[in-house]
């Protein structure tokens, strides 16, 4: 099924609800590994595409959910603007083709390295339209930043993975691109000292918007990377001060220029250092101060990448490893990103929710999808 309009989609969902036909919602098909157990008739939303409103002066853009992400980014770039939250591209992790869609970004609340400064995808989202599990068209939020009336279904839909409704339109606030950028790099640090260095940078008054650690590999030593962006004079000053601040951790260099450091941060954004590994890939969210402790718990055989100052840990581990069991005593959650179907069935893709939260989640799904037809098994 590939609807060409919101109305066509709503009619199709209404028929499916009456028949009890389960539906598998798909955008660009680039994240084939998430939700291994999803079954049902395929609903391809890429027929819903196009930018319906873009007002550079108002810093807002509105697009159909099936619009390729690259279309959004190219349109914004022509006006010197960008999405604040730096969404990652999962194709390296999954070895998939296709094109990421803006609706898929919202459905999974995809956010990259700049989240530590700009917030997640949901923090830039200001409006949504979607079709719920009964075929009803729902609109929430607006097309301007000052519209905050009513229930905040906008935040609810971000990260719901298509289990509450099929997104048809999304609206974002956007931000100007910076004039300049630089990355401060320290080579050869272990995970413990890398986390200390990132913490020092993030707590300093230099407006850091990227703090990541890449493991040794591809002929390069381990690298701890600190990014600053903004006006050229400010970037030059802040990167120089950060170089002085971090000198105690070892030899520090500065890679100046947006273009020069762009490839490095794309590599970080897309978790390429773990994507190339053989084995299961996990994504863990912990307190940044627990990042090094988690590295110790996973063992020396795990290939790790740290982002968000140590608060986001990507890990490539031996097939079938129960990472959640190894996290015992460390607060946080772990999502199984890439594995065999057997491992996904045994361990589950998403971290088990505490009973009170699981009850709320079940209640929301029963309200928005009473027949249980939207992406069944995706988050269960």
Residues 230 and 81 in one domain: no
Distance of CA 102 to the CA centre of its chain: 12
Distance set, CA 29 to CA 68, 109, 128, 167 (Å): 11, 16, 21, 15
- The set of residues, in sequence order, having a beta carbon less than 8 Å from that of 192 and lying 6+ positions away, is 292, 295
Residues 35-83 pLDDT 10s: 456 778 899 999 999 999 999 999 999 999 999 999 999 999 999 999 9
- Whether the predicted pLDDT of 145 surpasses 70: no
Handedness of CA 185, 188, 194, 196 (dihedral sign): negative
Output the pLDDT for position 150: 52
Residues 99 and 53 in one domain: yes
Residues 167 and 26 in one domain: yes
Please report whether residue 215 resides in a domain: yes
d(CA 162, CA 109) in angstroms, rounded, equals 11
Residues 162 and 94 in one domain: yes
User: Which of residues 269, 286, 313 is at a domain's end?
Assistant: 269
Picking from 341, 355, 349, the residue whose alpha carbon sits closest to that of residue 324 is 349
Q: What percent of the chain has pLDDT over 90?
A: 72
- Whether the predicted pLDDT of 6 surpasses 60: yes
- Whether the predicted pLDDT of 330 surpasses 90: yes
Residues 166 and 41 in one domain: yes
Please report whether residue 375 resides in a domain: no
Q: Mean pLDDT in the chain? A: 91
Please report whether residue 197 resides in a domain: yes
Q: What percent of the chain has pLDDT over 70?
A: 96
Residues 74 and 86 in one domain: yes
Strand duo 332-338 + 280-286: pairing? antiparallel
Residues 168 and 187 in one domain: no
Measured at the alpha carbon of residue 168, what is the angle toward residues 163 and 173, in degrees to the nearest 5? 100
Output the pLDDT for position 262: 82
Please report whether residue 40 resides in a domain: yes
CATH of the domain at 192: 3.30.70.2190
Residues 26 and 139 in one domain: yes
Residues 102 and 152 in one domain: yes
Neighbours of 349 (CB within 10 A): 22
Question: Do 236 and 216 meet the contact criterion of CB atoms below 8 Å apart?
Answer: no
Please report whether residue 123 resides in a domain: yes
**Helix or strand (DSSP H, E) at 166:** strand 166-173
Residues 91 and 72 in one domain: yes
pTM: 0.90
Please report whether residue 35 resides in a domain: yes
Instruction: Kindly indicate the confidence band of residue 151, based on its pLDDT and cuts at 50, 70 and 90.
Output: low
Question: Do 101 and 142 meet the contact criterion of CB atoms below 8 Å apart?
Answer: no
User: Which of residues 269, 289, 319 is at a domain's end?
Assistant: 269
Please report whether residue 128 resides in a domain: yes
The number of folded domains in the chain is 3
Residues 133 and 217 in one domain: no
Residues 251-305 pLDDT 10s: 999 998 877 778 899 999 999 999 988 899 999 999 999 999 999 999 989 999 9
Please report whether residue 365 resides in a domain: no
Distance set, CA 65 to CA 5, 257, 285 (Å): 11, 33, 27
CATH of the domain at 284: 3.30.70
Output the pLDDT for position 291: 92
Distance set, CA 337 to CA 156, 245, 314, 320, 356 (Å): 22, 36, 9, 12, 25
Residues 19-28 pLDDT 10s: 999 999 988 8
User: Which of residues 128, 154, 176 is at a domain's end?
Assistant: 176
Quote the domain boundaries for residue 209.
180-269
Residues 260 and 285 in one domain: no
Mean pLDDT of 226-232: 96
CA distance from start to end of the chain: 24
């Amino acid at each position: 099924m590939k609807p060409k309009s919101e109305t066509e989609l709503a009619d199709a969902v209404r028929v499916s609800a009456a028949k009890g036909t389960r539906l598998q919602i798909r955008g660009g098909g680039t994240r084939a590994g998430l939700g291994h157990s999803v079954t049902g008739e395929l609903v391809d939303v890429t027929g819903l595409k196009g930018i319906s409103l873009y007002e550079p002066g108002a810093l807002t853009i509105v697009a159909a959910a099936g619009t390729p992400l690259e279309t959004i980014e190219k349109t914004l770039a022509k006006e010197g603007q960008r999405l604040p939250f730096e969404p990652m591209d999962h194709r390296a992790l999954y070895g998939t083709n296709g094109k990421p869609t803006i609706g898929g970004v919202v459905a999974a609340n995809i956010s990259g390295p700049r989240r530590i400064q700009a917030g997640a995808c949901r923090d830039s989202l200001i409006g949504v339209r979607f079709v719920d599990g009964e075929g009803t068209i729902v609109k929430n939020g607006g097309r301007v930043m000052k519209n905050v009336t009513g229930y905040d279904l906008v935040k609810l839909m971000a990260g719901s993975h298509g289990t509450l409704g099929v997104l048809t339109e999304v609206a974002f606030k956007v931000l100007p691109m910076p004039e300049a950028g630089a990355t401060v790099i320290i080579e050869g640090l272990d995970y413990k000292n890398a986390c200390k260095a990132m913490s020092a940078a993030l707590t300093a008054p230099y407006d850091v918007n990227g703090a990541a650690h890449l493991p040794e590999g591809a002929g390069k030593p381990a690298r701890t990377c600190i990014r600053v962006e903004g006006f050229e004079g400010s970037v030059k000053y802040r990167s120089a001060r950060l170089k002085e601040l971090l000198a105690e951790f070892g030899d520090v260099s500065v890679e100046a220029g947006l273009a020069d450091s762009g490839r490095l941060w794309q590599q970080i954004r897309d978790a390429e250092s773990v994507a190339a590994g053989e084995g299961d890939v996990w994504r863990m969210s912990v307190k940044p101060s627990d990042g090094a402790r988690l590295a110790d718990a996973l063992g020396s055989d795990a290939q790790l990448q740290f982002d968000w100052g140590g608060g986001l840990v990507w890990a490539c581990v031996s097939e079938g490893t129960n990472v959640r069991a190894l996290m015992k005593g460390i607060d946080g959650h772990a999502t199984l990103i890439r594995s065999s179907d057997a491992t996904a069935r045994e361990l589950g893709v998403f971290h088990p929710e505490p009973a009170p939260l699981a009850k709320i989640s079940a209640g929301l799904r029963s309200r928005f999808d009473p027949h249980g037809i939207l992406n069944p098994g995706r988050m269960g």
